[in-house]
Structure 1
Amino acid sequence: MNILNIIIVLIVAAIVVFGSINYIKKLKKGGDCCPEHEEATKSVKVKDRDKSHYPYEAKLAIDGMSCNNCVRNVENALNALDGTWATVSLEDNMATVLLKNPPDIEKLSKAVTDAGYMVLKRKSKI
């Protein structure tokens, strides 16, 4: 092996070691996707919190969430829509959306997609 090959192997090995160390640190911190210095997203508050005003329900299976900030981002995207009240479970990767009007699944999915996440499955209940 010549010296150039040895240098290339050492560089690749250093990159692999550095990447592995960073990945392990990220896993130990809970796998947050958001940098430590980034301020947590503030929640969009639902004004009408009377569940009896929301006769419709939709459930969305969501991919791409990895931390509580992701949960807030999805909730905020859905709660910003008129007549919705969303709660999101990171454990189940599921958004439950209560609605005042019949669900427009495409509109709900678009809000989630625009927030940077993927909707895997959709279901509505009247």
Structure 2
Amino acid sequence: MTASPGPDLAALPHIPCDAGGPVFREPWEAHAFALAVTLHGKGLFIWPEWAETLSAEIRSAQAAGDPDAGDTYYQHWLKALERLVVAKGVTDAAAIEAATAAWHAAAEATPHGEPIVLGRMD
């Protein structure tokens, strides 16, 4: 699956691309990519700020032992996105943790092949 590039992808470290643009191994990776591009488009952050936050997240993961084989790139992308939305006051770490826990619980309770449905989280 590929997407048409929006912001300057050359500013991003190690983004998996082919001739058509970014390449995603899983649907959630494309969703995380689109969310970052959308939040940038809405003015939450400028692209150089995003690139620096992502670079810092990748450096942190490498320092913690990530072998940087390419299969964890969008995990770093997601962590960088979480870091920015917390820093910008959009949400807080506790809300992200609660949503993550709710997602995992819903996924475990959902039969294979069925859509995962989250309950209200308020």
* TM-score, with structure 2 as normaliser: 0.26
Query: Of the two, which has the highest radius of gyration?
Result: 1
Greater strand proportion: 1
The higher-RCO structure (CA 8 Å, 6+ apart) is: 1
Greater helix proportion: 2
* TM-score, with structure 1 as normaliser: 0.26
